[in-house]
Structure 1
């Protein structure tokens, strides 16, 4: 769908709820055209106003600072723990990504409400609306697009909202007698997926579908769609949302589920966090655990370009016949140095079955003497209940996990080895595209192989199989179809991801945090070359909201496809004042990238 068509559909939606008076409409039209205020503006709240807000939130109004701006002991501590995602997440003045070349850098908000409940969020929303402030929400702080902070803004920081409640038979508010009770878990807006996995799986013996990275925030991932190791089996995180409590732009606390505010409920399922309201808690369905979780990892090197293309072709023949099913997820990497890197995950299979499945492919590699294993392909299998059990891994598989190394940190604060290198990443460029399952068919497979090989000459490509739901069970597909995500995810066998980062974090003021401009530009050129090859094969490929190009021009159709007009109408109903603005979020056409300045004529499009 072209952007013009999307905006026409959005224009057809009502600009304001019917309940608003004509005087309120006039104030809205006037205020919409005014920029958000900054500290230098005369309309900036007086100190007495901030004191009133502080009293309303129990004294929990702070001035967040980057430790690199404080110097001394604060900077020394930051340098010591800068690759620890739990430390970075506990700092209200930092974000998990340090910036994006030519787009944004991590800078603290002017003030932050340290929210401990929905009432704190209501106070912050009312204050921001009254004083025309830029409002930002941060949970896990993992946004690549820089939506977790903004200079001169008021931040709602949800980190302390970590409550967890288990349900053996959950029925949403107002749904009594209309829906079947289901096992579920309610998670506060500040919960990380590590909190969820420890409570639900390690201690509870059940499964909740979340993200692969344990320090990503639960609420943000659900609102963005949300994929993990086993999404091919259990659907997206958004598809398993049963209920959410939300603070809307008018300062009201509402319950959104299939029976109460169903339009808002649908929009929260993949419509992008931070656009429709502030989620205070989510309730997600849980599942019975399979017997086993596990992975297959290793690296295979080809001696030449021709041999590498043959290796790719052989793998996809193998994938289509043996791995394109609900048991398998995670990813492979097609490296530009002719290496196929395997990081596959599986569920419900034991080690002997997995070894039997992979034997023909690995035998073919061994038979062709020109190939070599840079890292032996091995199988790791464990009881499913222990996948996020750090103590179990430390005992049985040392080296696969790391831990929060701060004094007094919870023993459950683990992360996968290698993820520490992603903390503080400064992005040069990032792209993603869903690849339709039709490309796996024999009559189109050669085109897929040629495209991936050609693209890999410019930049290594990661193919995440769990981020495309084709090949999954019908119930997971049905649930995901009833979300706001781009419907392409249902027909995709994988999400192709290409990215390039600096060699080190680059937080403003960080010692040694300089930006290599020439390298960034070379990386962007290579990414464009690789992505152009993919677009030649799939011109209208959708892109995943949370892992996408900051500068994507046709983002409405790429992110949400035919669902965007419906999302725009929901935005109009619940946030007619445009209080919630994030980069490339629903309704952000009305604002410039800084989120402070309205676009001229915005009333006509929104």
Structure 2
């Protein structure tokens, strides 16, 4: 399932002054007057904990404090750890199991993957509480890593203490879950913070015969996805992952453990539903709504090449009309990709048979075949399978082994595989990346020609994808209502798709032998990515961006990620983290800190 092969976005964007944004001006007031810290400490600073104090933390967490070092730090032919890392650098399960590494190795002129000084390998909530209290007491930079999928480098930081939740991965299904202090029962699943979506899908769908709304990439962490909003292949039917959250356990900056839901501490509950991970607290446990499983899931693959610019412009227009008339409904998700006068089909569907899906596509394919200006670069294939097998690794081993890549380590669980199309992003070094929600109004016949023109012109600068499952316009009323009651940008609710463009190269962890990204090329790519997205956005000025898949250098990021919800998020930050213990790049309240999160800035005004 080729999901993100064109991802990542623009660099060298001039930052707009954050104080000019009305939403952020209101948020500044909410965040003012509460700071007591002026800086955090680094190793060698007078306030850095002594060895005895680190030993005290280690005892408090049952010996699960680790001193971190990258396996590439002292790399050589005789270094077994280094050689294993080189062998596994394209294995996301290995990267996730190595607390000193991250799923992305860096971003040109933005950040580089560097390990924390220490990590608490948390196995329970008490371990998290101990780490939070220690960081608060000693004014440490604190980082949280679950799945570790962070394009913007928020799951690691040098000179910091890491809370690593990988070993907190228990999963339990419920036939009649009742959130505390609430009424009504729900079919649900409770997942600890370190679990990946492959774990959740195995328990809920393969074994349990139900559906839970999660991420498309199987190695994404459950907790991180929910906190960022959480789109998956079938979000057009079931809404966002955050919209399906029923209850969560959260450790706040004061070390207190909160069980939150719509009835208990609803503001904290709302803030973690799309407000971004690592900004307000550490989520240790989540309970998510589960749904009846459709009979079938399926996919449509193929590629169509146009023999001229004029033919390609016509193909784009026809594809968008076809999407509007036939695919703009809860059955369909994933993406169409546009580059080099080619249209790539990488769509998925739910609740349709293979024959029904083929009938949906027949008019569009007939239109293409009737014109000599087009040829099929890849034949269009429609496949369908019982939905219960969609994440069943053994089923794919038997029927379509080319679509999956297993964790190659000898002791790996059999269900730990990834989609072959996701392999390119493992360990990636990002050149650039941008995303933007495209409003449903652009599909109106009066605007569709302008949209098609912008899409054609954008493709001449750089390729991009339209991810239809990441815009919720066209979703059922229940899914829309759940998703709207979250902190993410309300613009996502009226968008028919999320446009994504980007570029990356091979892994480039510091010290890794042979890792030599072409920085000049990376910057040239970034400039073209910028041109492509800016051209596309001529028809959608002011479009917001998805925080999990966005530009490191996002302009006016508070409005872009959260829109009118940002002041409310800032108020929750003030209430639950008044001193700013939790910091991530472009997270709620991060405008009060230096880019590295170590020095508090003087607020304007």
Partner of 1:112: 119
Give the 4+ runs in structure 1 shifted more than 6 A.
none
Q: How does 1:268-347 map to 2 (within 5 A)?
A: 268-335=272-339, 337-347=340-350
Equivalent pairs, count: 585
- In structure 1, the partner of 2:410 is 407
Please say if 1:60 is aligned against 2:40. Answer: no
Residue among 228, 232, 247 paired with 2:232: 228
Query: The residue matched to 1:67 in structure 2 has which SS?
Result: coil
| Conserved? CA contact 1:298–1:374, under 8 Å | yes
Q: Secondary structure at the match of 1:548?
A: coil
Partner of 2:132: 125
Matches within 5 A, 1:32-431: 32-33=37-38, 35-71=39-75, 72-175=79-182, 179-335=183-339, 337-431=340-434
Equivalent residue for 1:479? 482
C-alpha distance in 1 between matches for 2:370 and 2:541: 38
Q: C-alpha distance in 1, partners of 2:429/2:31?
A: 40
Give, in angstroms, the shift of residue 515 of structure 1: 2.1
Question: What is the DSSP-based 3-state SS (H/G/I as helix, E as strand, rest coil) of the residue aligned with 2:347?
Answer: strand
Q: In 1, are the aligned partners of 2:23 and 2:563 still within 8 Å (CA)?
A: no
Matching residue of 2:512: 510
Match of 1:596 in 2: 598
Larger RCO (alpha carbons 8 Å, 6+ apart)? 2
What RMSD in Å do the two structures reach over aligned CA positions? 1.2
Q: Which of 523, 538, 542 matches 2:544?
A: 542
- Check the 8 A contact 1:14/1:573 in 2, yes or no: no
Distance 2:326 2:24 in 1: 43
1:577 corresponds to 2:559 = no
Take 1:452 and 1:69, find their aligned partners in 2: how far apart are those partners?
44
Deviation at 1:264, TM superposition (A): 0.3
Q: Once the two structures are superposed, what CA deviation does each residue of 1:395-446 show, in whole Å capped at 9, x if it has no partner? A: 1223111111111110000111121221000001110000001101100000
TM-score, with structure 1 as normaliser: 0.95
Task: Tell me the residue number matched to 2:3.
Answer: none
1:447-526 equivalences in 2 (<5 Å): 447-502=450-505, 504-526=506-528
Deviation of 1:68 after TM superposition, in Å, equals 0.8
Once the two structures are overlaid, the 10-residue window that deviates more, 73-82 or 199-208, is: 73-82
Describe the superposition over 1:144-198 as per-residue Cα deviations: whole angstroms up to 9, x where unpaired: 01000000000000000000111101111121xxx32100000000000000000
Give 3-state SS (helix, strand or coil) of 1:581's partner: coil
- Partners of 1:451 and 1:535 lie apart in 2 by 8
Deviation at 1:524, TM superposition (A): 1.2
Match of 1:10?
27
Query: Take 1:227 and 1:8, find their aligned partners in 2: how far apart are those partners?
Result: 29
Q: Is the 8 A contact 2:24 2:566 kept in 1?
A: no
The question of whether the paired residues in 2 share the 8 Å contact of 1:15 and 1:576 is answered with no
Return closer, same or farther for 1:14/1:583 CA change in 2, 3 Å cut-off.
Answer: closer
Distance 1:130 1:161 in 2: 24
Secondary structure of 1:322's match?
A: helix
- C-alpha distance after superposition, 1:117-145 (max 9, x if no partner): 11001100110000000000000001101
Give the gaps of 5 or more residues in structure 2: 1-17
SS at match of 2:571: helix
Please state how far the C-alpha of 1:8 moved relative to its aligned partner: 3.1
CA distance in 2, matches of 1:13, 1:401: 47
Give TM-score scaled by structure 2 length: 0.95
Distance 2:311 2:19 in 1: 41
Shift of 1:3: 4.2
Give the C-alpha shift of residue 32 in structure 1: 2.1
Query: Structure 1: 5+ residue runs without aligned partners?
Result: 17-27
